[in-house]
Amino acid sequence: MTDNTGMNRSLAVSLLMGLSLASLDVRAEVRPERLWLPPAFAQYSDALSTAAELALEHPDCREVLYGRLNEFRSAQTEISFTILCMKDARSTFNQVFALADLLDNPAADARRAARQQELEQLRGLLQPSSRPGSDNEAETEADAEQDEDSSPEIF
């Protein structure tokens, strides 16, 4: 007779680990490259991102596979978005979000404010430096005078 105690113990440990991993609620973050809008609707990209994040709040949505403009509903009534969610390895489902519902969402307002602040910071980086002691104005005037005095070289 063979003693299967060691094998039974490792089987029990494997089973417990498998159950504990299955019970973890692992949700993927929204990947922007999976969200698509026609160029004519690019101004609604924030709303589409909000819809994708709200879709992840659904208890069965583990990952957003795709987000797009719902062209049929948008043409018939109001602008809406379809988000394809993955429930598990074998099943997916759609969620539809109307633009009007997304605009009243406080999370969307916070995200919009953060993006606006980031945009202002980037604009500040692109503007010429106006710090005290900088020579940008003097350099610009010297460049303008040099351009007026020199004629273009013709080949």
Closest to 94 in 3D by CA, of 120, 129, 124, 68: 68
Q: What percent of the chain has pLDDT over 70?
A: 61
Distances (CA, A) of 14 to 3, 11, 88, 129: 19, 5, 21, 62
Exposed, middle or buried, 142 (CB in 10 Å: 0-12/13-18/19+)?
A: exposed
Domain boundaries, the chain: 26-123
pTM: 0.53
What pLDDT does residue 19 have? 43
- Residue length of the chain: 155
What pLDDT does residue 113 have? 73
Q: Which residue has the tokens 């999370």?
A: 107
pLDDT at 32 over 70: yes
Query: Mean pLDDT throughout 45-74?
Result: 90
Q: What percent of the chain has pLDDT over 90?
A: 28
Give the pLDDT band of residue 5 (cuts 50, 70, 90). Answer: low
Structure token digits, residue 51: 């819809």
Give the pLDDT band of residue 149 (cuts 50, 70, 90). Answer: low
Q: Which residue has the tokens 């969307």?
A: 108
pLDDT at 24 over 80: no
Between 97 and 3, where is the model more confident? 97
Give the pLDDT band of residue 123 (cuts 50, 70, 90). Answer: confident
Are 128 and 136 spatial neighbours (Cβ–Cβ below 8 Å)? yes
